[in-house]
């Protein structure tokens, strides 16, 4: 059987894969698993529930709240807020757990349900599997005063904004910043907090109607942000995704600043301030080799994990590191949050620009990004990618041809019969030729 939970909760097509019935069963099961310790101690479990602005989030959040309350959980429905805001409020309000309804950067028809444990942390795989196993089981239904109550709590945005401003190391007076909210969960929060921090704000993609989330705006569509930054003569642009757990940036010259460059800028800044614990940055194996080379020059160690912000976070929590993230723009600042936070990341970037007086494009030149090519090889037996001798020999030959000035990575998809071939090299042409050659070997050897 395939696993119900993916790398970031339960996600799929709303009202087809993610139904009211599923939301009810999932929330009831979560109430029993996550609320069990409170109930055993004689306390009523409490949950924070938030969502992004997708139309389907309206009926799905109603189902989640109903399921939780029917299982004896008191619900604080905080409405439309970013994922990191729900994680923060789960901890700040002392809730037993949190629930976020969002499909992040996916198109509007999709939606998803993810949970945060007490303290606002993502759930381990074992706990997610326990929730899935509890679905559909018989349970004793509370009666009378024992049923949960649902509270419409609209103070969450103000608490989250205050938290972000408190984390800000330097005001943004004098900066002009374009904010692209992806017509998503940060559409109200991000412009507000940047203005309160002193910036002049230009808004695009901040008018959600339930149907337009991620539609031509946000971190997966930077064209409009680039045009707005250049047209308004702004100092920088900040792009969020639908649930605002990631951030990409655009400089005044219209050049994109990706997640690796953002991490490099923030790592140097934190090191200067004595806040980069163990002088270590945590990144995934997909981060550009240029990031590793830049951090070595700056005297900063890089720990690499598997792909996924949950693995970055696990490594950070295990060793107490303060900064980690992914090339996609998920950046975790563990001193201020328990998950990737695109609004916080954007604030920290803008604060660095304000503090140094240097354009973000200049700050990003701390690292040289090597050309990177990714080829998805479909319809293959991904389970044999690490054991096939011919594939292994092809990888070794390719690495030898790069003479230490590039990198080869073969990775199996977590959800599809796909092998991802990633090559970095000194030139785009060399990276493309090497990746295509390896992809041909993978297809020939592993075809289903």
The residues annotated with a catalytic role in the active site are 104
Neighbours of 444 (CB within 10 A): 12
**What b/e readout covers 148-172, taking b as 16+ CB neighbours within 10 angstroms?**
bebeebeebbeebbebbeebbebbb
Q: Is 189 helix (H, G, I), strand (E, B) or coil?
A: helix
**Residue 188 near residue 157 (C-beta atoms within 8 A):** yes
Q: Is 298 helix (H, G, I), strand (E, B) or coil?
A: coil
- Cα separation of 386 and 214, whole Å? 36
Q: Is 145 exposed, middle or buried (0-12, 13-18, 19+ CB in 10 A)?
A: exposed
Nearest to 16 by CA among 110, 83, 90, 97: 110
**Residue 259 near residue 246 (C-beta atoms within 8 A):** yes
- Cα separation of 169 and 297, whole Å? 25
**Residue 162 near residue 347 (C-beta atoms within 8 A):** no
Q: Which residues pair with 407 in a beta bridge?
A: 424
**Residue 372 near residue 422 (C-beta atoms within 8 A):** yes
Distance of CA 368 to the CA centre of its chain: 24
DSSP 165-182: HHH-SS--TT-EEEEE-T
**Residue 379 near residue 448 (C-beta atoms within 8 A):** yes
DSSP 372-408: EEEEEEESB-GGGTTT-HHHHHHHHHHHHHHTTSSEE
Tokens of 130: 């326990």
- Cα separation of 55 and 213, whole Å? 10
**Residue 243 near residue 8 (C-beta atoms within 8 A):** no
Distance of CA 129 to the CA centre of its chain: 21
Nearest to 352 by CA among 292, 234, 260, 273: 273
DSSP letter for 290, please. H
Q: Which residues have C-beta within 8 Å of that of residue 399, sequence separation ≥ 6?
A: 407, 408
């Amino acid at each position: 059987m395939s696993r119900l939970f993916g790398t970031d909760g339960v996600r799929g097509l709303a009202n087809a894969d993610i139904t009211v019935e599923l939301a009810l069963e999932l929330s009831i099961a979560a109430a029993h698993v996550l609320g069990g310790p409170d109930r055993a101690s004689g306390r009523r479990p409490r949950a924070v529930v938030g969502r992004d602005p997708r139309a389907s989030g309206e009926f799905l959040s109603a189902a989640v709240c109903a399921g939780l309350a029917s299982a004896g959980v008191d619900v604080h429905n905080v409405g439309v807020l970013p994922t990191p805001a729900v994680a923060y409020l789960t901890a700040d309000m002392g809730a037993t757990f949190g629930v976020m309804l969002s499909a992040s950067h996916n198109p509007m028809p999709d939606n998803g349900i993810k949970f945060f444990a007490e303290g606002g942390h993502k759930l381990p795989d074992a706990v997610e599997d326990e929730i899935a196993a509890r679905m559909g089981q018989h349970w004793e239904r509370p009666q009378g005063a024992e049923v949960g109550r649902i509270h419409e709590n609209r103070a969450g945005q103000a608490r989250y904004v205050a938290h972000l401003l408190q984390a800000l190391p330097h005001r943004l007076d004098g900066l002009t910043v374009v904010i692209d909210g992806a017509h998503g969960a940060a559409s109200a929060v991000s412009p507000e907090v940047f203005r309160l921090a002193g910036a002049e704000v230009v808004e695009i993609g901040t008018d959600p109607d339930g149907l337009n989330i991620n539609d031509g705006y946000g971190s997966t569509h930077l064209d409009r942000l680039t045009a707005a930054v250049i047209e308004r003569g702004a100092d920088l642009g900040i792009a969020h995704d639908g649930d605002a757990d990631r951030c990409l940036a655009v400089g005044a010259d219209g050049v994109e600043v990706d997640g690796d460059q953002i991490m490099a800028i923030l790592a140097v800044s934190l090191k200067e301030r004595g806040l980069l614990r163990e002088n270590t940055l945590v990144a995934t194996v997909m981060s550009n080799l240029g990031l590793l080379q830049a951090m070595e020059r700056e005297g900063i160690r890089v720990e690499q994990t598997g792909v996924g912000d949950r693995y970055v976070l696990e490594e950070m929590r295990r060793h107490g590191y303060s900064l980690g993230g992914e090339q996609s723009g998920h950046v975790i600042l563990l001193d201020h949050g328990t998950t990737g936070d695109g609004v916080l990341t954007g604030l920290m970037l803008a604060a660095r620009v304000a503090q140094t007086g240097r354009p973000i494009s200049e700050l990003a030149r701390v690292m040289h990004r090597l050309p990177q090519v990714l080829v998805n090889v479909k319809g293959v037996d991904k389970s044999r990618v690490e054991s096939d001798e011919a594939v292994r020999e092809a990888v070794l030959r390719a690495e030898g041809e790069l003479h230490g000035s590039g990198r080869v990575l073969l990775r199996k998809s977590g959800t599809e019969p796909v092998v991802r071939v990633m090559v970095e090299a000194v030139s785009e042409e060399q990276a493309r030729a090497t990746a295509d050659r390896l992809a041909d070997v993978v297809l020939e050897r592993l075809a289903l």
